[in-house]
Amino acid sequence: MMADQIKVAYWPGCVSRGFTPELHGSMALVAQKLGIELVELDRANCCGAGVIAEHNQELADTLNARTFALAQQTGLSMMNICSTCQGAQSECQQRLDADSAYRAHINEVLSGQGLSYEKGKDGFTNKNFLWLLVEDYGLDRLREQVVRPLNGLRVGPFYGCYIVRPKERLGYADHPDRDIYLEKVIEALGGEVVEYDGSRKCCGFPVVTMNRDTSLRQAGTHVGDAIDAGADCLVTPCPLCHLNLDMQQPEAAKIVNRDLGLSVLHLPQLVGLALGAEPKELGMDRHVASTRWVQDRLAGAAV
């Protein structure tokens, strides 16, 4: 283990403490194993998931400026575990960073709470766990931590729209490979990357209450494509994608009119398995689509 300790202001998001609690739990366990210290932002608010910005941009910008300000109070950079938080927060940060007068206007509202968001303070960044793992922790260091290589496990990456588009907002100019990090991590953990059509497409979740058929057809199609490509499981850094791909999977199967039944892992769960954590500790028994197949695969592959 290298000497430099990573310590971050940790924003778990809402869904990891709501309908996908296994994500929050597995992140805590994996952080401990990796030696990443998490300072949880337990007073921070919802990112708005793009929906609040659709309603009132200034409201979304101020709510997220509050979160950034709370993170900056810790003197640490921020880490999230949700593609949607990443995208929604990056959108607001882009507007806040673009104009000092606008920033001052927003900070005026926050000043009553003793808070202030400062652009680029101490090199402030907000990174999804996926980005942090590759850019700050490092894949070589990750490889050294692997005690149970995922040999023979065929993993399909599923990114979530908000972490891959739009590129100019999400730091791709400086980090052009951010849209292939999942593949790099799967490879570093000893797994095999499965290429299939849906890896960077939309899971359909944002319209699940508005147009259920369109939404679940998207989820069902991607899961089906991954099965056809021979995947043992999917892995995603986005709990909202997980809701549509896993929790809605039996419903999506009805819409696309085929059998599905593919495990969908949260990114920390996949990392945790390779670090030697037990599936149950990682909450894998709580998923809707059974993770039994993944566990059997790994048991068979274990040395």
Identity of the residue, 35 or 151, whose beta carbon is nearer to other proteins in the bound complex = 151
> Whose structure tokens read 């400062």?
118
Q: Which of residues 4-23 bind other proteins (CB under 8 A)?
A: 14-15, 17-22
Judged by CB under 8 A, the stretch of 30-38, 140-148, 199-207, 264-272 that binds other proteins is 199-207
Among 4, 37, 51, 296, binds other proteins (CB under 8 A): 51
Residue 38: strand pairing partners: 8
Question: Which residue(s) pair with 36 in the sheet?
Answer: 6
DSSP 123: G
How many Å apart are CA 186 and CA 189, to the nearest integer?
5
Q: Which residues contact 55 (CB under 8 A, 6 or more apart)?
A: none
Quote the least distance from Cβ 117 to other proteins, whole Å.
Answer: 12
Q: Which stretch binds other proteins (CB under 8 A): 71-79, 106-114, 123-131, 269-277?
A: 106-114
Which run of H or of E encompasses 154? strand 154-157
User: In this structure, what token pair is assigned to residue 51?
Assistant: 């929906």
Amino acid at site 101: A
Q: Is 190 near other proteins (CB under 8 A)?
A: no
CB atoms within 10 A of CB 226: 28
Interaction between residue 162 and other proteins (CB under 8 A): yes
Binding residue for other proteins, selected from 28, 35, 39, 46, defined by CB under 8 A: 46
Taking alpha carbons only, the member of 138, 125, 173, 105 closest to residue 4 is 138
Site residue total, other proteins (CB under 8 A): 79
State the minimum distance, in angstroms, from the CB of residue 98 to other proteins.
Answer: 5
> Which position among 6, 8, 9, 49 is part of the footprint of other proteins (CB under 8 A)?
49
Please pick, from the candidates 120, 209, 299, 303, the single residue that binds other proteins as defined by CB under 8 A.
209
63 binds other proteins (CB under 8 A): yes
| Residue 187 in contact with other proteins, rule: CB under 8 A | yes
Nearest Cα residue to 129 out of 56, 167, 80: 80
Single residue of 221, 236, 263, 269 touching other proteins by CB under 8 A: 221
